[in-house]
Each structure stands twice: as structure tokens, then as C-alpha cells.
Amino acid sequence: MKEPSNRERADWANTALEAFAEQVGEEDMLDEEKELVISDLLSDLMHLCDVEEIDFGVCTERAEMHYREERSEERRRAKACLDQGTTDEDQ
């Protein structure tokens, strides 16, 4: 199975954000105040972690680690494609 691109990952996150915005009545804010909607979702995720007794700090540390690894991997693949004269879709 092909590894998803970071653009695909961003699209997944945007789909989740749109669902959240619709649920809380903030869908009109997505165009001009997306940062605020993201902040609201993160805040509600913190509340969820409290209820579920999950350490939100651990979640954010893990997310940061995954983000950095995925960014590095995509840069590595792009460099390999440049070196080989191919595109990522060719692989």
C-alpha cells in the first residue's frame, strides 16, 4: 500500500474540522477564521482527554513526532524522485 501524502493527511484533517465546525455551528467561520475553529477543536479535544483520563500533552508530543517524521519522509521521497528524474506518482 502506498504511503499517503501529507496533502492527503491535511485533507483528512480538513474533513474532520469541517464536521466539527458543522456540529458546533461554526461552519461559517471556516473561510475567514479557520484558526479559531482549529483552536476550538483542540480545546474540546483537551476536554475529551480530561473525561477519558488521557494525557493531552503526551498526545501532542506524539503528534509532533509523527508530523516531523512525515515531513522528513516526504522531503526524502521528493529528493529521491528528483535524483531519479521521476515523480512521486511513478513510484
Query: Residue 47: exposed, middle, or buried by beta-carbon count in 10 A (0-12, 13-18, 19+)?
Result: exposed
Q: Which pLDDT score is estimated for 80?
A: 82
Q: Which pLDDT score is estimated for 89?
A: 57
Closest of 39, 40, 16, 37 to residue 28, by C-alpha = 37
Which uninterrupted H or E stretch holds 32?
none
Reading the chain (91 residues) residue by residue, the pLDDT tens digits are: 788 999 999 999 999 999 999 999 999 999 999 999 999 999 999 999 999 999 999 999 999 999 999 999 999 888 888 878 766 555 4
- Tell me, what amino acid is at 85? G
Q: Which pLDDT score is estimated for 18?
A: 97
